[in-house]
Structure 1
Amino acid sequence: MEEEEGAGIREKEAGLEIETRESARNRNARQSQEELFKIEQYAEMALHYARLDSMSSDMLFKKYDISAVIKRALKKYAVLFIGSGLSFSIEEFSCNAVTDEKWLGFVVEQILANALKYTNEGGIRIYGGDKNGQLCTGEVCYVVIADTGIGIRESDLPRIFERGFTGYNGRMEKKSTGIGLYLCRQIMDKLSHSIRVESAEGEGTKVVLGFEEKRALLW
């Protein structure tokens, strides 16, 4: 009887050891994927920065469902969202606009990257609406990407779209380039869209994207 019990214990220990090794391998594989994704992201940022001056010759304007554009951009971040342990939600909304999907997708990706980088707990939520909770004001349709991250210092807010500005959070992160939000503003201006940031230190950040519905109706 004792020998059977001892054998059972050894089998359980062996099973736990195998499970632990598999968990470690899965964790290492996920971390490798995340690091590779970040390298690709930096390369893509550099590429878009280099193309910024000639952006007008690389745009293809069409009428798009903005919700669908955002969802396609989100697919690239599936691995990072799973690994982060953060909650994520995107609410259904209707917003049509004339835009360039590739450049707008890049803007959405940069915003998501920042949200993931500076959010340690809670999550990220995407929904339609302005600061008053309205989806459209009659001519402009708004989409909000909100996180529950560390937020931005009030003194840094006026400069976050400046080229090379990293602010307090960027200095603490030590890997911030100060180029991401600069590119977002430049691209949104060239697409005739708007972007603004609402944030408070310790209270998260909201990035509000504005799209002219009136322009979409002309197409």
Structure 2
Amino acid sequence: MSDQPVTERRNFYGRVHGKTLRASQKGYLAEDLGKVRLQGVSVEDNPGRVPLNTAGLFGGRPLWLEVGFGGGEHLVHMAARYQEVGIIGCEPFVNGVAMLLGKIRAAGVENLAIHPGDVRDLFDVLPAASVAKCFLNYPDPWPKARHHRRRFVTQGYLGALARVMAPGAEFRVATDIPDYVRQTLEEVPGAGFDLVAQAGAGGAWEDWLSTRYEQKALREGRSPHYLTFRRKG
């Protein structure tokens, strides 16, 4: 029997479909998704919520996680740069998944897996203290005040993230929304993380790859902000 909590029915508010997919993107989904899709994550595939064997997933390599990988450019960049680790990317937006699959083909990286769905389902089945680094890049800002509870940087998400992150693990957040910075600084420490560093434009991490969302923000006059946290021991 699994010692994981029973998963309650959850509302999901983000988009899962966008513009009509190109023929090539439909091909990526049909031909490539099955090769990199993480098995045993959904309730349908794993109703008992049995923890994943993450130690065997990437041959014992350290496990990293990107929550909401957008178009996938940062995820592929990190997988190519750090081939000594394995990275799981989580993204429910099918257009983003198709874009990522095209980038995986072009780059030829093999040290990553995808969960094309709600990250909370993934948190349910990740073993405790199994993640060594996590990235949250330009998350949905949910700008209206009544929707702030839907942001990732709330205790419902952060508590689950803290459970799966190892002591000393790094959590990076990049956003161009000042109020998202405020909420991140207020909420993340309360979930068991220490703030290590924060920086504005020009202060990104040494291995950072500017995403299309960041480039859009810069074109529209919004400044990036980079926050680094570390999971308490």
Fold match (TM-score > 0.5): no
Give the number of the structure whose residues are more often helix, by fraction.
1
Between structure 1 and structure 2, the one with the greater Rg is: 1
| TM-score after normalising by structure 2 | 0.28
| TM-score after normalising by structure 1 | 0.30
